[in-house]
Amino acid sequence: MTTADDFATELGVPAAPVRSVALSHLSVELGHLYMEDFNEGDSRLRRQFDRVRPWAETAVRQAEQSVATGRARISTCFLIDDYFTRFSSPREVVTRLVAAAERTGLTIDYVARESGCARAGEVDVARLVQEHLVDEPTEGANGRPATSVTGWLTNGERSPGTSAAAMATPRQWRPPRQSAARNHSIFVDIELWADQPNGGRLWSCPFLAAVWQLQRLGLLRHLGRPVADPVAATPETLPVEWELMAPVVQLNPRAAPMRAYRTFTALDSRFLSIELAVRTILGNVAVDPAAVEQVRKRAQGEGLDLPDEAVGRIGYAFL
């Protein structure tokens, strides 16, 4: 993400201060919603929350036990896919979603649009994160172009091609190799985006999910400012067009902050491969060091010891 120091260097002016954000102790994501889930009806939504509830309650109890003094600040959120498929309207979708959650004893504090992880107003959020990806292995290794050129990110070294020029000795196959592997490699090669005929980009689901995790962890900044602060609304006051809805909406006026020191997400097992990709991506993002230091000091002030890397602050339950 663009840092204040980067911007100041380009213009030759003092760097803008990096603004801090309000932080909860834990952000609990109650699930993702896709068009096919919504089309199955309200019973499908209730089943989602019935399955998630015991895991969410466990995560909340653990967070409460980790806070030495005071009351634990915990917020909930839900992500709606309006990026790959537009369906229904924000007003209808969120109204049904909130009602289904309430019937199972859960409260949704914040609702986010997946397209808001690509662009939030005038900020091209996905490109901000893409610009701070660090290639692994180093650029040009194994004859492979950089991630910024290919749109693919790997956690190691892929197998070389076996083709060879005519009359030349064929290359011998070598297995792919994961960087920092323990005993055996688990090699992944992740598509981050696909270039479109109109010159735009279609960002991949894992990349947008990685952006969403950075947002929830309070680590996204653009020119020193937070990106996509929540906007207060009720289901009844939401617009009828997705483009008119804020990237993140605060439904519960008494909710703790959306961003948090740690995140917990309850997901269907179908998302397991996506989250492996998310963790690989996050391990290769050079997060704004000023934002990292702010969060670290805030946590220390509350007697919390956070892992150094963002990926260590993320927890899951796969259902």
CA atoms within 13 A on the CB side of 157: 16
The pLDDT, as a whole number, for residue 172 is 73
Angle (nearest 5°) at CA 78 between 112 and 232: 50
Question: Residues 148-176, buried b or exposed e (16+ Cβ, 10 A)?
Answer: eeebbbbbbbbeeeeeeeeeeeeeeeeeb
The answer to whether the Cα torsion of 186, 308, 63, 109 is positive or negative is negative
The pLDDT, as a whole number, for residue 161 is 56
Taking the model in full, what pTM does it have?
Answer: 0.87
The pLDDT, as a whole number, for residue 194 is 93
Q: Is the peptide bond before 226 cis (omega within 30 degrees of 0)?
A: no
Domain spans of the chain, in order of start: 22-130+205-272+286-318
User: Which of 301, 317, 218 is closest to 269 using CA atoms?
Assistant: 317
The pLDDT, as a whole number, for residue 12 is 47
pLDDT, averaged in runs of 10, over the chain (319 residues): 47 68 97 88 94 96 89 96 92 96 97 97 95 68 68 76 55 73 82 90 96 97 95 96 96 98 94 94 93 94 92 95
Angle (nearest 5°) at CA 285 between 280 and 291: 130
